[in-house]
Amino acid sequence: MAIYSMTKETISITISNGGKEKYPAGVSILDVLKDRESAEEVVAARVNGNLTDLNTTLDTSATLEFVTADSKEGMDICRHSASHVMAQAVKELYEDARLGIGPTIEDGFYYDFERSAPFGPDDLEMIEERMRDIIKRDIPFTREEMEKSEALRIFEERDEPYKQELIAGIEDETVSVYRQRDFVDLCRGPHLQSTGRIRAFKLLSTAGAYWKGDEKRKMLQRIYGTAFPTEKALKEYLNRIDEAKKRDHRKLGKELDLFSVEEGVGAGLILWHPRGSMVRGIIEDYWKNEHYKMGYDVIYSPHIAKIDLWNTSGHLDFYKDNMYSPMDVEGQGYVVKPMNCPFHVQVYKGHVRSYRDLPIRYAELGTVYRYERSGVLHGLLRVRGFTQDDAHIFCTPDQLGVEIKGVLNFTLYILRSFGFNEYAVYLSTRPDKHVGTEENWDRAEAALKSALEDSAIEYAVDPGEGVFYGPKIDIKIKDVLGRAWQCSTIQVDFNLPERFDVEYRGADGGFHRPIMVHRALMGSLERFFGCLIEHYGGAFPVWLAPVQVSLLTVTGRCDNYAEEICAGLRESGIRAETDTRNEKLGFKIREAQMSKVPYMAVIGDKEVANKTLSIRSRDGRSVPEMPIDGLIDLVQKENRPIGGGPR
């Protein structure tokens, strides 16, 4: 430990996992950090819980916790510092560039710029090279706090209108800026000590972005990048990106002829091709059968409804921006549905319900339509028309806990069936503005929490992030690359039963309000299918593969035998096709491999004579020659959902 003169007033610094020590008032965090083994890996600190730079001085006793580069907060600081270095590089290279914003995002950072010419691949290379030079210069990040008027003067002199707009919108009278010698940026921080502490970075891509996300404002140019504590970590990340590109569902959807989006139809509207439709049909059949087993009734509802329905439900008040304009039908306003829930309420209200009837569980694969701006549309993952695997449960308050636990277990059962075994789970609690009684909210939050804990599921709490009508559980599935996809949700609703005056007759003879639970296991078929494509790289497990066996003939003499075998396979419930084209066998095998068919059966003169099949598996497994019955047994053993487990 460094030796300090104690002639100044002394303060006590309690160091996380390091005991309590005395220092002179005004000591910097860097001085406290000296001589500690972890000093090289520390990038920032928490002082009494508040994140700050290492250059910060301590004038009073405090609790100090060091933040290392490999922690989530540490990587965010490294990436945000890299974002500032990128902005400095752009300003040094392009005098006409004006600064927007440059925050961190998951796995990286971006910065928005206004510039007359677009950034191209050559520009990114030049910017990267200049960033390396700035890092080599090891320029200190220096924090300054100042009056708003002074900050406005600085950025006015530098002709940075976007920074001026940001400053004008800050309510505090003082703001902070960070300098890298001549480069200045508006920022709360914290940052690394200097540019030289940035270890490994890479610029990734460019895109257009409206200022403040407002399509009425100017389109800026966004440069995306990433940074990591080590070159090894960066290389691993870039390899994951390359793998993700290979698995991109838009690319594979075209190559495997699964779906398309056609300009003549409209953006965000999916055309399901025969092979994609086959997979969708398998998913739908499995979904329906499992719901019947779990005591759900499957229903269907129309695609449009009178505007009055959406007034009553509140969607026109809370969801209008995501709905399409009404259409006139014989003087009545009708709207295409953005949700299925009001229809399920109407089915419930078709009869007087008793407490003995509850819980009632309605499920629907209901197609809905939502207005999404073109800039956010993304293949199957963000569309304008999609089919939700929707369900609504009407139950008494006393039944709520059991129903939520049942839904949670059912959700995980279905996800495991499709090969998803890792999740990120969030419990979102009541927001400041909400409907329903405090008692109902407490009961619902307790039921959600209890279901998670009884199922031994790790979860994080998102305080105040519930929807206005009730708390919820969100489940993000993790794919083979560790990426999280928002799909499943379980939501408690006190609002719609009230708005639609939904009731049941209780044991006391009086009428009571049921609680309504919204839930989606897969989210939407489109999004879930996109996740499946990327999770498996298009090589679906046997039970989901649109074609399970491809029969490849060597010569035309084998065609009749191939057709006979194909008919037998189909009769046994196996999805088979023949390739009897006048092409070389090697070409047919490559095509079947590119189509990711699980099994290929080669048929030549020998196989015809012996009434056998030479089998090739997609994954390269050695499979012996066998008769048709052997192939049927082989495929049928794998022709079932992957996991599942107890419901």
Of the residues 472, 535, 588, 616, which is catalytic? 472
Active-site residue (options: 191, 197, 337, 370): 370
Neighbours of 121 (CB within 10 A): 10
Which residue out of 341, 487, 531, 566 is catalytically annotated? 341
Angle at 594 between CA 591 and CA 597, to 5 degrees: 90
Residue 442 CB neighbour total at 10 angstroms: 12
201 DSSP β-pair partners: 227
- Which one is catalytic: 164, 180, 193, 388? 388
What gap in Å lies between CA 381 and CA 598, rounded to an integer? 26
Backbone angles phi, psi at 390, to 5 degrees: -95, 150
**250 membership: H or E segment, kind and range:** helix 249-255
Element (H, E) at 514: none
Do the Cβ atoms of 101 and 208 come closer than 8 Å?
A: no
d(CA 479, CA 46): 34
Peptide bond into 190 cis (omega under 30): yes
Active-site residue, selected from the candidate residues 163, 191, 291, 392: 392
427 phi and psi angles, rounded to 5 deg:
-105, 115
Is 535 among the catalytic positions?
A: no
The count of C-alpha atoms lying within 13 angstroms of the C-alpha of 109, restricted to the half-sphere facing its C-beta, is 24
- State the greatest distance between any 2 C-alpha atoms of the chain, in Å, as a whole number: 102
The alpha carbon dihedral of 484, 491, 456, 532 has a sign of negative
User: Is 370 a residue of the active site?
Assistant: yes
Cα–Cα distance measured from residue 237 to residue 259, given in angstroms and rounded to the nearest whole number:
29
Neighbours of 122 (CB within 10 A): 8
Three-class DSSP category at 379:
coil
Peptide bond into 359 cis (omega under 30): yes
Q: Which residues of 383-410 are buried (b: 16+ CB within 10 A; e: fewer)?
A: bbbbbbbbbbbbbbeebbbebbbbbbbb
CA distances from 291 to 362, 364, 379, 455 (A): 9, 10, 28, 20
Decide if 392 is catalytic. yes
**How do strand 576-579 and strand 549-553 relate by DSSP bridges?**
parallel
Identify whether 388 is a catalytic site residue. Answer: yes
In terms of DSSP H, where are the helices of 20-158? 29-33, 72-93, 121-137, 148-157
Q: Is 306 annotated as catalytic?
A: no
CA distance 243 to 252: 13
- Per the annotation, the verdict on 548 as an active-site residue is no
271 in Cβ contact with 260 (< 8 Å): yes
Helix (H, G, I), strand (E, B) or coil at 412: helix
Q: How far apart are CA 521 and CA 531, in angstroms?
A: 13
Rounded to an integer, what distance in angstroms lies between the CA atom of residue 164 and that of residue 175?
12
Check 76, 390, 474, 479 and give the catalytic one. 390
Q: Report the C-alpha gap between 430 and 462 in whole angstroms.
A: 9
Residues in the chain: 647
Could you say which of 163, 222, 518, 519 is catalytic? 518
- Positive or negative torsion for Cα 113, 114, 120, 123: negative
Active-site annotation holds for 341: yes
Question: Where in the sequence numbering do the catalytic residues fall?
Answer: 341, 370, 388, 390, 392, 472, 518
